[in-house]
């Protein structure tokens, strides 16, 4: 019987097999210590949105801090009979020694820019590819989807309710973490509250109501148990003729005499726009204008937007499967590509050329900046340079669209903020990981610095990621050398 890997929780072997075969080949051919530079970037924003959100950095740091190959791992690889013994010994004595730079978690990100840069021995930089992409792609996807839903709700709280529909337990836990970064106020998942401090919320299921002889008895019992935070699910039978009347009766007969005010009612089915308006009128007439109405039931940003357009009287939303799986577009297409090789004191830029223009990479060891207007505080564009270029934001600078170089703009009175922060230097963690609430606040602050046009759901304004003149020329030179036409 196989042992339970989840109990051991060593994820070092969560690599694509070709990373091992390539790394073995590097070592056998004397290339194992060759210093390489890899970039993680993505090509397309999910749901054709205007921006994505970078998330998952903390879990990547945890993985890199705990990389180790066990004797069980070594023996498994030895049995494949394709790996050199020197390579197996290298893995046995593995110590992470790379430099890693990354955007701050919670930063809005755009296609084509290097959100993570890894520099170090080619074997090590290669071996971390799968976990780096897996971790950051997943949480960036869920944080991005969550923020779309949040913006649709126009300031109303969003609760993450997706654990039971997530693609596995890690997706439930880390998805809820990412949803909190993206703007959710709470989660249904108790483990996420315990591990990350994301407030857990939840009241009752329909089974609670069904198990009692009457809906009234179910509501009464619950109110007696939890008078300080009483939210009643009112759609088990009939919202208008049964659920709301029984809730009001319990509010009058149980909670008010105990000295408590009820918190909310929840509607989980039916025509939520119609039912919420009827429920609001009934609650107001009964003297409970402060009781909130919560809506659930397979919601997403488009349904929420339409409900509000139709005048739905909903104060907050619980969103499950379409958030935790990003059902409308469940893949975040981050990739990890070789950008440069070190040769003495210089870096030799490397490019991947493709017949698909969007798959051509930007070569070189790079830095990334975001330009903010000093007048408005809003983001103007992102700017990618060679690692040794200096951006002087005391002077005007001309930027241009690298895919349409005739589109040019002179930027002045701006602040250039470096986006790539050192996380590891020579394998040592040099970054103070922020607390989750701090990441969430930072995320919202940075989104607020984007123009509203970038935040549209349909046909958002394209935010430009521009290359420096020097970097653009390097790319063009390599394309010509590779006879790309």
Tens-place pLDDT, residues 49-107: 999 999 999 999 999 999 999 999 999 999 999 999 999 999 999 999 999 999 999 99
State the architecture of 5-142+330-481 in CATH terms.
Alpha-Beta Barrel (3.20)
Three-state secondary structure of 54-76: CCCHHHHHHHHHCCCCCHHHHHH
Q: What is the pLDDT along the chain (485 residues), one digit of tens a residue?
A: 344 444 557 899 999 999 999 999 999 999 999 999 999 999 999 999 999 999 999 999 999 999 999 999 999 999 999 999 999 999 999 999 999 999 999 999 999 999 999 999 999 999 999 999 999 999 999 999 999 999 999 999 999 999 999 999 999 999 999 999 999 999 999 999 999 999 999 999 999 999 999 999 999 999 999 999 999 999 999 999 999 999 999 999 999 999 999 999 999 999 999 999 999 999 999 999 999 999 999 999 999 999 999 999 999 999 999 999 999 999 999 999 999 999 999 999 999 998 888 889 999 999 999 999 999 999 999 999 999 999 999 999 999 999 899 999 999 999 999 999 999 999 999 999 999 999 999 999 999 999 999 999 999 999 999 999 999 999 999 999 886 44
Strands (E), 98-185: 99-102, 108-109, 116-121, 158-160
Helix (H) / strand (E) containing 7 = helix 5-8
pLDDT digits (tens, 9 = 90+) for 260-304: 999 999 999 999 999 999 999 999 999 999 999 999 999 999 999
- Separation of alpha carbons 332 and 140, rounded Å: 7
CA dist., res. 21 & res. 8, Å (int) = 25
Helices (H), 153-289: 169-182, 190-196, 206-211, 215-225, 244-250, 256-258, 272-285
Sign of CA dihedral 302, 303, 306, 307: negative
Please, is 238 exposed, middle or buried when counting C-beta atoms within 10 Å of its C-beta (0-12, 13-18, 19+)? Answer: middle
pTM of the model: 0.96
Closest of 249, 192, 195, 204 to residue 229, by C-alpha:
204
Contact (Cβ atoms closer than 8 angstroms) between residue 333 and residue 296: no
Contact call for residues 320 and 165 (beta carbons, < 8 A): yes
Element (H, E) at 318: strand 316-319
Q: Which residues contact 60 (CB under 8 A, 6 or more apart)?
A: 102, 116, 131, 132, 135, 136
Spell out the domain ranges in the chain: 5-142+330-481, 145-324
CA distances from 210 to 62, 161, 232, 235 (A): 45, 21, 13, 11
Going by CATH, does the domain composed of 145-324 fall within 3.40.50.300? no
Strand partners, 261: none
Q: What is the Cα–Cα distance from 59 to 133, expressed in whole angstroms?
A: 11
Q: What is the DSSP string of 250-308?
A: HIIIIIHHHT----EEEE-SS-HHHHHHHHHHHHHHTT-TT-EEEE-SS--HHHHHHHH
DSSP code of residue 351: -
């Amino acid at each position: 019987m196989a042992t339970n890997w989840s109990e051991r929780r060593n994820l070092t072997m969560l690599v694509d097999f070709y990373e091992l075969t390539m790394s073995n080949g590097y070592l056998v051919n004397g290339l194992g210590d060759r210093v390489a530079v890899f970039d993680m970037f993505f090509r397309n924003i999910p749901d054709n949105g205007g921006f994505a959100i970078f998330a998952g950095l903390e879990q990547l740091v945890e993985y890199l801090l705990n990389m180790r190959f066990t004797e069980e791992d070594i023996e498994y690889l030895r049995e494949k009979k394709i790996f050199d013994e020197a390579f197996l010994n290298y893995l046995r004595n593995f110590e992470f020694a790379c430099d890693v730079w990354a955007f701050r978690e919670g930063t809005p990100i755009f296609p084509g820019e290097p959100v993570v840069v890894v520099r170090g021995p080619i074997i090590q930089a290669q071996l971390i590819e799968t976990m780096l992409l897996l971790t950051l792609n997943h949480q960036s996807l869920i944080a991005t989807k969550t923020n779309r839903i949040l913006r649709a709700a126009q300031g109303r709280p969003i609760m993450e309710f997706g654990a039971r529909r997530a693609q596995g337990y890690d997706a439930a836990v880390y998805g809820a973490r990412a949803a909190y970064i993206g703007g959710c106020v709470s989660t249904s998942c108790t483990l996420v509250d315990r591990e990350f401090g994301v407030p857990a919320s939840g009241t009752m299921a329909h089974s609670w109501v069904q198990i009692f002889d009457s809906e009234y008895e179910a509501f009464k019992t619950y109110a007696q148990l939890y008078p300080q935070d009483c939210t009643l699910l009112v759609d088990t039978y009939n919202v208008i003729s049964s659920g709301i009347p029984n809730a009001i009766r319990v509010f009058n007969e149980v909670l008010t005499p105990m000295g408590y005010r009820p918190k909310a009612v929840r509607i989980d089915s039916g025509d939520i726009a119609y039912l919420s308006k009827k429920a609001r009128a009934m609650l107001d007439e009964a003297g409970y204008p402060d009781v909130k109405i919560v809506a659930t039931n397979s919601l997403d940003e488009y349904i929420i937007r339409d409900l509000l357009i139709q005048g739905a009287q909903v104060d907050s939303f619980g969103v499950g499967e379409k958030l935790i799986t990003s059902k409308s577009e469940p893949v975040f297409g981050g990739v990890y590509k070789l950008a440069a090789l070190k040769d003495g004191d210089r870096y030799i830029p490397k490019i991947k050329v493709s017949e698909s223009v969007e798959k051509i990479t930007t070569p070189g060891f790079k830095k990334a900046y975001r330009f903010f207007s000093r007048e408005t505080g809003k983001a103007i564009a992102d700017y990618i340079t060679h690692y040794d270029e200096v951006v002087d934001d005391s002077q005007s600078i001309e930027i241009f669209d690298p895919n349409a170089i005739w589109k040019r703009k002179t930027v002045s009175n701006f602040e250039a903020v470096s986006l790539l922060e050192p996380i590891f230097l020579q394998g040592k963690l040099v970054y103070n990981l922020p607390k989750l609430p701090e990441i969430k606040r930072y995320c919202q602050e940075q989104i607020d610095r984007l123009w509203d046009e970038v935040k549209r759901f349909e046909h958002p304004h394209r935010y430009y990621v521009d290359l420096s003149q020097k970097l653009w020329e390097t790319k063009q030179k390599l394309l010509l050398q590779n006879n790309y036409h």
